[in-house]
Amino acid sequence: MLRSFLLLVSPLLMSFCDGVCFMCPEICRCSQKSITCNSATESLKSRTHSRLVLNYISLKIISTHSFDGLKGVKRIEIAQSTSVETIEKEAFNNLLNVSEISIQNTRSLVHIHKWAFNHLPNLKYLSISNTGIGVFPDLTSIFSLESDFILEICDNLNLRSIPTNAFIGMTSEITTMQVSHNFSINDSP
């Protein structure tokens, strides 16, 4: 009986999702309007997860404290979303073990709030690529202690400028910084 039901419902789900759906990670709580992956939701699971992958996420806003205090996660990836428009302040907050954050192929992402990336002492790699941001994100509250920090800001065609002092407070040393293919050239009248 269950098998018959699944055979009937599966094609409907696939057509509704156009073959691609966001599935809430095991260590998170998800609703239609929010995702929470923090130390409280993480502690409910018996096994640890070192990687948190959020592909095809259907939320418009990644809210404040969405990823607050995760302990086992070392890498967070957000990719392939056509919905995410905003990352609020302190969305990535107090992540003591996170070494990599990658936000890629989220063309609808137009705003990253000041202090969205806050107190990330072990962050080694941050990539914000192929988004719709027009203003360079404030990275001054990352406070990474890593000496081999890599920053990659690429293919953000709506990005118009990089403010003065944009990198102060991010880390004590930057070994590699790739900032390329960010500005689109508009035709002058």
Q: What is the DSSP letter of 188?
A: P
Domain that holds residue 95: 21-180
Structural domain includes residue 8? no
The whole-number pLDDT of residue 47 equals 57
The whole-number pLDDT of residue 189 equals 45
pTM reported for the whole predicted model: 0.79
DSSP helix/strand/coil, 117: strand
The whole-number pLDDT of residue 152 equals 95
Structural domain includes residue 87? yes
Q: What single letter denotes the amino acid at residue 91?
A: A
Distances (CA, A) of 107 to 86, 137, 143: 11, 15, 27
Q: Where are the alpha helices (DSSP H) in the chain?
A: 2-17, 39-43
E strands, the chain, where? 29-30, 35-36, 51-55, 61-62, 75-79, 86-87, 92-93, 100-106, 111-112, 117-118, 125-131, 149-154, 174-180
d(CA 115, CA 64): 10
Q: Return the CATH number at 43.
A: 3.80.10.10
The whole-number pLDDT of residue 179 equals 85
Structural domain includes residue 144? yes
Q: In the chain, how long is the greatest CA-to-CA distance?
A: 66
Q: What is the pLDDT along the chain (189 residues), one digit of tens a residue?
A: 434 433 343 343 333 444 457 778 777 888 777 788 877 666 655 556 688 888 988 889 999 998 887 888 899 999 999 999 999 999 999 999 999 999 999 999 999 998 999 999 999 999 999 999 998 888 989 999 998 899 999 999 999 888 888 888 888 776 788 888 887 655 444
Q: Are 173 and 149 in contact (CB under 8 A)?
A: yes
DSSP helix/strand/coil, 17: helix
How many domains does the structure of the chain reveal? Answer: 1
The whole-number pLDDT of residue 8 equals 40
Structural domain includes residue 105? yes
Structural domain includes residue 52? yes
Q: What is the DSSP letter of 2?
A: H
Structural domain includes residue 1? no
d(CA 36, CA 27): 9
